[in-house]
Amino acid sequence: MSHSYRPSTVLVQSLLRISPWQQRHYIEDLITLEGLLKQTPRGFATNLLLHTLKSRYPVEVQCILEELAGHPVSVEVLFERLDNYRVERNAAETQQCEREHQEDLRNYAAWRAAGGRP
């Protein structure tokens, strides 16, 4: 995908400079996202793309919006926020798995108490 849009945020420009070729799709998504955030999306497909990218890159969206509002965000801050996001998401997933496991144990105990076979 070729872009006629050139990134204007320092964050995306910095990521473009330091990212290897293998991450080109990530950078293309960020360039597209920055362009969509700077202008009002028109049409269903554009809005769908915007919301897909926002859900895929929530931390990056927050950082780009901060920079567009005049508060520059460095690449180091982005990486720190991404690490924190991953830790929080992993903790939430672990808690959800534990709750599901406990519910399965309760259901199994109820099954056994009702005369079900193991």
Does 102 lie in the same domain as 46?
A: no
The pairs formed by 99-103 with CB atoms below 8 angstroms and a separation of 24 or more are: none
Does 2 lie in the same domain as 59?
A: yes
**Ordered mean pLDDT values, 10 residues apiece, the chain (118 residues):** 69 83 87 88 88 92 88 86 86 93 93 86
Domain carrying residue 117: 78-118
Does 82 lie in the same domain as 25?
A: no
Does 59 lie in the same domain as 8?
A: yes
| Residue 89 contacts residue 81 (beta carbons within 8 Å) | no
- Give pLDDT, residue 72: 84
Count: domains in the chain: 2
Does 69 lie in the same domain as 13?
A: yes
Does 32 lie in the same domain as 2?
A: yes
> CA dist 78 to 14, 35, 59, Å?
11, 19, 8
